[in-house]
Structure 1
């Protein structure tokens, strides 16, 4: 069973997940600090081969989605949210209810200081304890981001996923890793990330990548749909900018279904704005099926 696309409230979505016996999860977040957040990667000279250069030749900062600004730009007045702040805000509205121990591990990757095969913790004093709320994640992000120098190397999600699998081996229960990433992957990093996803399918870990900025996202679709070696489909990609663009249109479709197709009743008025609603559905839509597969494979 998947989440039906006519839930119009936060409460309805949460209740649907609970009805599938998915009442809690161990949440983990990872945030991309590569220079893909601010510049065209075509200017980087470290890429190997013409194929990688073509793949990363697009401007992957927010040329269209954030007026060409650094995706991590912090507005001193606090009136304008950057895409990461916006995504974290929207994620917090629903997902906080499914982290029962109020411990959310948050990592950064791709910055100039952290080795390419590692991540850094937002709570270095006690990484395993993590943040206690989405408010704390927000505060840590706002405090840390101005101190971080973006790294020149292209993003590699493999180390991020392997870090999460290590946690999933040590801590029992269902785990959800949400990666906020700003760029495509080189051929080498695509292969490494794909192998990490395959390896993670032996654990109760759902991996969700949210594409920040303008893309392109071709190889994220490859990871989402073309890894038959996995024990189950444990990966989902969500294009944040596409969600924002289509939210109003999709809202009309949902309402039309309810009016014309006799869909089951939902809360009224709508508790989520259209972008919140569609974003939540895109994030969570595959989770119930993944959870069911984990149970059948005796991973839970």
Structure 2
């Protein structure tokens, strides 16, 4: 049994309400953390809304409807913002025609976003101007998140909102494994039609890590089946944070930075 299995299986549990998972996060010792947000601008976003977004591009910014990326920003913003003591959020895009699968770009040229309200405002402003590209690789964003954790020497949660399969799978896997040496939780919210087999494999079949640092959430599956979709998505996204943070403390990943 790996170190991650030994820690995460010890007292793993399910949560039925957002209050339960929030209390568990506080009980685990997470009084504050840094937040990092990553948005997928690969060209497949134009086609991945055939079933789940009435055929529109997942990045369609319109006054008539809210797109899946905007939904996730709003849902997780309301849920996670109380954990962020300074209110500053690092937000990045990746997969556009300039960045491709090699780098990220900051939402703001200078500084961080002031809370999730500004993340949403900047997303709405810049998205119509972005030329989508690809291929899909989470590694540059995960490495950027690790750099931020190193600099701030504080526990962070990285939320990646993406529309489909990772094409640079080996590089992404290695970045996730390497990130388990740092106090960083990675949550991937999958929007669009899928399929999600690679994402599920990443969640369930990653090689040995210091701790289980990766969680995948199928946004539309939960949204389509839950009585209260927003609450259900938030619960699922945060459900592994308590055990991940306990593992981080047990492994002394913050103290050893």
TM-score (norm 2): 0.91
Query: Pick from 202, 219, 229: which aligns with 1:240?
Result: 219
Query: Pick from 41, 51, 56: which aligns with 1:69?
Result: 56
- What are the Cα deviations for residues 143-202 of structure 1, in whole angstroms up to 9, with x where unaligned? 000110111x2211111111111111111121110000111022xx11000000000000
Partner of 2:40: 32
Query: Pick from 132, 137, 162: which aligns with 2:119?
Result: 137
State the distance in 2 between where 1:94 and 1:236 align: 16
Q: Which runs of 5+ in 2 are unaligned?
A: 1-10
Deviation at 1:14, TM superposition (A): 2.7
**SS of aligned partner of 2:51:** coil
Q: Which runs of 5+ in 1 are unaligned?
A: 40-60, 249-273
**8 Å CA contact 2:24, 2:242 repeated in 1:** no
Partner of 2:25: 17
- What are the Cα deviations for residues 220-272 of structure 1, in whole angstroms up to 9, with x where unaligned? 11111112321111000000011111112xxxxxxxxxxxxxxxxxxxxxxxx
**8 Å CA contact 1:64, 1:214 repeated in 2:** yes
Q: Does 1:109 align with 2:90?
A: no
**SS of aligned partner of 1:104:** strand
TM alignment of 1:143-154, pairs within 5 A: 143-151=125-133, 153-154=134-135
Partner of 2:144: 163
Partner of 1:93: 78
Query: Pick from 163, 184, 208: which aligns with 2:165?
Result: 184
Query: Would you say how many aligned residue pairs link Structure 1 and Structure 2?
Result: 244
Alpha-carbon RMSD across the aligned residues, in angstroms, is: 1.4
**SS of aligned partner of 2:198:** helix
**8 Å CA contact 1:182, 1:213 repeated in 2:** yes
Greater Rg over alpha carbons, structure: 1
Partner of 2:6: none
